[in-house]
Structure 1
Amino acid sequence: MNNMKKYVPNPTIGLVFLAVLICMQACKSSSSIYKAPKVNAFRAGTLPAPPGMVYVPSGTILFKSSLDTADTGKNVSLSAFFIDEAEVTNKQYREFINWVADSIAITDYLQDDQYFLNTGEPAEERKIDWKKVKKVSPLWKSNDPTIRERLAPMLLVQGTKRMLNPDVLRYEFSYQKTKGNAKKEFVTEQVPVMPVNDIWSSDFPNAQLASLDMNYFTHESFDYYPVVGVTWRQARAFTDWRGKEFMATIMKNSYLSGYQLTLSLPTEAQWQYAAEGKLDPRDTTTTKRLTIDGAEGKDRLAVNFKQGDGTYSRDGATFTLPVKSYTPNAFGLYNMAGNVSEWTLDAFSPSATVFVNDLNPALLYDADEKDADALKRKVVRGGSWKDNGEQLNTDTRNYSVDYEPHSYIGFRCVMAAFEMPTVQSKTRKY
């Protein structure tokens, strides 16, 4: 008789063995995810920028609220960002105008299925087929008598010239409204987008500038001059539109594909840092302030500004110049001083440094229409063709109210970027 017991496998032991085996295989296959590469070499420290923009690496500036010598200011740091290499031009802003005009023409007046992608959907859900529209844009200039008749409410006739009706042309966008410590909320706003037609004569009523009023924004000879006569609200509307255009077109075919990015006006600190042009992120020294000696002609700068009473033209121009005139700064940015002053995102306060953070500072306040003008002031930087040398310093602050356009204020756009490793980040032996 065989007294040996029959072997019965223990299911618990089998499961344990299987779990160990799976764990070993999983650990082996996933071990590579824990092998992060060393930073072995210094990288160039720049990212390829979107069209028309340049990369500005992170850095530090001395931020001051005023030019008072008692105001010592404070150091603030800026993370990396992209910024327009030049001021927004008439041609670029006209593209925005035509996009708004085409949108309104198609959705409110023509309502023609040929301009929509999803014609079977309810009218409010249909999307415009911009590839088709761009072939015939701008629709308001069409010579088709049927289209001209249907778009008549959008137009004004001055003499023999057809022009867009500024009251009809509005851009709708949503943003987070900020009012100090008040609760933030998302609001939708409709902003008139047409620049003021007679802005030159409005700013200088006795200077015989009617020819600039009639031609500066519309004639092709001024295509690459900075757009003026645009309010802070209009400038922000443009940045919203351009950001959406980037996401819809350029982003799909670049290394930035997949990121959610928006454009905006530069913050006051971003603008100052970009204007100072510090290539070394460790450089915390202040930029030398500009000095202009009009009497002897010393330190005469290649900058478009007013050298003294009645001397607008010594720099080569009486008014504005094309946006890529003169020499760019160390970041590759043109006319950060002179030509036109530039809107920034910040609300103006004489004591801004008290309220802002020391990292990416911004003082934001979206005033209501009923608010006092003091709450509607926005920071303007850089000096313009009609300003003296003192206004051109990178730390000089000025302001204008958000609803007021001028012939000497333009703007440029910024977009967030990602920090690149620098030589300080290089991995070394302990």
Structure 2
Amino acid sequence: MHKMGIRSIALILIVLLAATSCSKKKRPTSLKPGKTSSKTGLAYNGKDGFEVKNFKALPAGPDLVYIEGGRFTMGSLEEEVMGRRDNEKRTVSINSFYMDQTEVANVHYLEYLNAVQRDSSEEFYAKALPDTNVWYNELSFNDSYVTMYLRHPGFRLYPVVGVSWVQANDYCAWRTAAVSQANNTAGQAAGKKKGFAISKKKRAAKADAAAVASSGPAPQLRIESGYVMPPYRLPTEAEFEYAAMAMIGTQYSDENQSNQRIYPWDGSTMRQPRGRKQGTMLANFKRGPGDYAGIAGKSNDGAIITQEIRAYPANDFGLYDMAGNVSEWVEDVYRPGSNKDVADLNSYRRNGFQDEAKNYDTKNSNSMINDNLRVYKGGSWSDVAYWLSPGTRRYMDQDSSTAMVGFRCAMIATGTHKN
């Protein structure tokens, strides 16, 4: 009897577990919506042509790092030595997104130039070329960098410079098309490769894949297919600042953060505070007038000008050179009052809306403000430590370029990262 009682209890537990697992399986998700509508009961993928198929979420594009969104204090935490008061502190929230692990390097931009030269007009190719003359200085012998920095193999993984905001956006558009093409090509492999490849049995967009495999120009995939990658773009100023601060892991369970950060690392020092590399610089920057790297052989940043990507420690999000090496373009137009008249969710400043350029006296040269001014952030090899603070900001015309400004790409995160 005792054994029968134990068996009965075990049988009941098994049935309950099976019922629980079945109920979990039936719960629809964005990736597995089920066979019928939970609101109408009508079948998906029926004769009416409404397709809602399961699909395996595409992995993030190459080099992208997932940045979990949240609340943070945006604005300058440093003393306002410039006296502009154009980035005072305020609390904003940022949705999750993806960002490049590193800055775009010379070899990556040369890949783009090769594609442009092959597939575009000479006029567009000429417009895509970085301005290598940004290295030229009448009072410095930087002449070799004018011809060598972009194309010499020794500088392949150094961040590209001399690129304007407009050129950076053009690169983002090309990269979107290039990665999407690689995605489509991998999809045709019918499960032979992992990553972007889609298994033959579970190919949710069968019609789209067949169209891609056919001869002739590749058609535009529908967003509903699930195999359209979001476009690459420049990060917004808020996204860049949030990703650079990397406050993840610094809070208590009650959401109170234990500290704030002046730089993308803890503390106010610019050197490794402990460990095997104690005393070495955490970023590539100018330490003072005429001091770009310190004394040879001692604890310095190891770079007179730029340095290879990944040469310095990553921040807590796993991003490299969010301070130093080169400053980076962001998407936003510049306005001195950006901290007062933007939304507190996914803050972004676009041109032609509020605080319009016509309100500034550019005609009489009493102001530089117009809709072509774009923000850049992060500090560079030629900047003192003040500009390495994520809250600091500067601006430049969108068609201008320098030897101190580069860029990296970002992308929206679709759906739930846990899926």
* Structure 1 residue aligned with 2:377: 381
Q: Given the alignment of the two structures, is residue 359 of structure 1 paired with residue 345 of structure 2, yes or no?
A: yes
Decide whether aligned partners of structure 1 residues 60 and 205 sit closer, same or farther in structure 2, where only a CA change above 3 A counts: farther
Decide whether aligned partners of structure 1 residues 66 and 33 sit closer, same or farther in structure 2, where only a CA change above 3 A counts: closer
Decide whether aligned partners of structure 1 residues 272 and 419 sit closer, same or farther in structure 2, where only a CA change above 3 A counts: farther
* Structure 2 residue aligned with 1:306: 286
Q: Given the alignment of the two structures, is residue 169 of structure 1 paired with residue 125 of structure 2, yes or no?
A: yes
Once the two structures are superposed, the pairs formed by residues 319-330 of structure 1 within 5 Å of their partners are: 319-330=305-316
Look up the equivalent residue of 1:413 and give its one-letter code: C
For residues 347-392 of structure 1, what are the alpha-carbon distances to aligned partners after superposition, in whole Å with 9 as ceiling and x for unaligned?
111211222111111101279xx99652122111110000000100
Once the two structures are superposed, the pairs formed by residues 10-159 of structure 1 within 5 Å of their partners are: 35-36=26-27, 48-64=59-75, 73-104=89-120
Secondary structure class of the residue paired with 2:172: helix
Q: Which moved more, 1:353-362 or 1:221-230?
A: 353-362
* Structure 1 residue aligned with 2:128: 193
Whole-angstrom CA distance in 2 between matches of 1:275 and 1:218 = 29
Secondary structure class of the residue paired with 1:214: helix
Whole-angstrom CA distance in 1 between matches of 2:345 and 2:250 = 14
Whole-angstrom CA distance in 2 between matches of 1:356 and 1:363 = 7
Structure of greater Rg: 1
* Structure 2 residue aligned with 1:177: none
* Structure 2 residue aligned with 1:268: 237
Secondary structure class of the residue paired with 1:353: coil
CA contact (8 A) 1:269 1:360 kept: yes
Decide whether aligned partners of structure 1 residues 341 and 293 sit closer, same or farther in structure 2, where only a CA change above 3 A counts: closer
Whole-angstrom CA distance in 1 between matches of 2:332 and 2:256 = 23
For residues 116-148 of structure 1, what are the alpha-carbon distances to aligned partners after superposition, in whole Å with 9 as ceiling and x for unaligned?
xxxxxxxxxxxxxxxxxxxxxxxxxxxxxxxxx
Look up the equivalent residue of 2:337 and give its one-letter code: S
Secondary structure class of the residue paired with 2:162: coil
Kindly state the Cα deviation for residue 288 of structure 1 after the two structures are TM-superposed.
Answer: 2.0
* Structure 2 residue aligned with 1:407: 403
Runs of 5+ unmatched residues, structure 1: 1-30, 39-46, 109-153, 155-166, 171-191, 423-430
Q: Given the alignment of the two structures, is residue 236 of structure 1 paired with residue 143 of structure 2, yes or no?
A: no
* Structure 2 residue aligned with 1:287: 260
Whole-angstrom CA distance in 1 between matches of 2:174 and 2:374 = 21
Look up the equivalent residue of 1:169 and give its one-letter code: Y
Decide whether aligned partners of structure 1 residues 343 and 72 sit closer, same or farther in structure 2, where only a CA change above 3 A counts: closer
Kindly state the Cα deviation for residue 284 of structure 1 after the two structures are TM-superposed.
Answer: 6.6
Kindly state the Cα deviation for residue 306 of structure 1 after the two structures are TM-superposed.
Answer: 0.4
| TM-score of the superposed pair, with normalisation by structure 1 | 0.62
For residues 66-118 of structure 1, what are the alpha-carbon distances to aligned partners after superposition, in whole Å with 9 as ceiling and x for unaligned?
967787532111111111100001011111111111013xxx6xxxxxxxxxx
Kindly state the Cα deviation for residue 258 of structure 1 after the two structures are TM-superposed.
Answer: 2.0
Decide whether aligned partners of structure 1 residues 77 and 300 sit closer, same or farther in structure 2, where only a CA change above 3 A counts: same
Look up the equivalent residue of 2:288 and give its one-letter code: G
CA contact (8 A) 1:292 1:300 kept: no
Look up the equivalent residue of 1:287 and give its one-letter code: Q
Whole-angstrom CA distance in 1 between matches of 2:144 and 2:344 = 47
Secondary structure class of the residue paired with 2:339: helix
Kindly state the Cα deviation for residue 48 of structure 1 after the two structures are TM-superposed.
Answer: 4.7
Q: Percent identity at matched positions?
A: 32
Kindly state the Cα deviation for residue 412 of structure 1 after the two structures are TM-superposed.
Answer: 0.1
Kindly state the Cα deviation for residue 58 of structure 1 after the two structures are TM-superposed.
Answer: 1.4
Kindly state the Cα deviation for residue 250 of structure 1 after the two structures are TM-superposed.
Answer: 2.9
CA RMSD of aligned residues (A): 3.5
Whole-angstrom CA distance in 1 between matches of 2:143 and 2:27 = 65
CA contact (8 A) 2:326 2:380 kept: yes
Look up the equivalent residue of 1:402 and give its one-letter code: Q
Kindly state the Cα deviation for residue 279 of structure 1 after the two structures are TM-superposed.
Answer: 2.5
Look up the equivalent residue of 1:344 and give its one-letter code: V
Runs of 5+ unmatched residues, structure 2: 1-21, 30-57, 188-195, 199-224, 272-277, 295-300, 363-367
| TM-score of the superposed pair, with normalisation by structure 2 | 0.64
For residues 291-331 of structure 1, what are the alpha-carbon distances to aligned partners after superposition, in whole Å with 9 as ceiling and x for unaligned?
4589xxx9863210001111101211100000111111111
Decide whether aligned partners of structure 1 residues 365 and 66 sit closer, same or farther in structure 2, where only a CA change above 3 A counts: farther
Look up the equivalent residue of 1:79 and give its one-letter code: N
Whole-angstrom CA distance in 2 between matches of 1:65 and 1:276 = 11
* Structure 2 residue aligned with 1:339: 325
Whole-angstrom CA distance in 2 between matches of 1:232 and 1:56 = 23
CA contact (8 A) 2:310 2:321 kept: yes
**Alignment: residue pair count:** 299
Kindly state the Cα deviation for residue 36 of structure 1 after the two structures are TM-superposed.
Answer: 2.0
Whole-angstrom CA distance in 1 between matches of 2:412 and 2:241 = 16
Kindly state the Cα deviation for residue 228 of structure 1 after the two structures are TM-superposed.
Answer: 0.1
Whole-angstrom CA distance in 1 between matches of 2:135 and 2:385 = 22
Whole-angstrom CA distance in 1 between matches of 2:302 and 2:344 = 40
Q: Given the alignment of the two structures, is residue 418 of structure 1 paired with residue 414 of structure 2, yes or no?
A: yes
Whole-angstrom CA distance in 2 between matches of 1:288 and 1:212 = 35
Look up the equivalent residue of 1:404 and give its one-letter code: S
Decide whether aligned partners of structure 1 residues 213 and 68 sit closer, same or farther in structure 2, where only a CA change above 3 A counts: same
CA contact (8 A) 2:78 2:386 kept: no
Higher strand share: 1
Kindly state the Cα deviation for residue 259 of structure 1 after the two structures are TM-superposed.
Answer: 3.7
Decide whether aligned partners of structure 1 residues 225 and 390 sit closer, same or farther in structure 2, where only a CA change above 3 A counts: same
Decide whether aligned partners of structure 1 residues 348 and 281 sit closer, same or farther in structure 2, where only a CA change above 3 A counts: farther
CA contact (8 A) 1:65 1:351 kept: no
Runs of 4 or more off by more than 6 Å in structure 1? 31-34, 68-71
Decide whether aligned partners of structure 1 residues 366 and 234 sit closer, same or farther in structure 2, where only a CA change above 3 A counts: farther
Decide whether aligned partners of structure 1 residues 323 and 308 sit closer, same or farther in structure 2, where only a CA change above 3 A counts: same
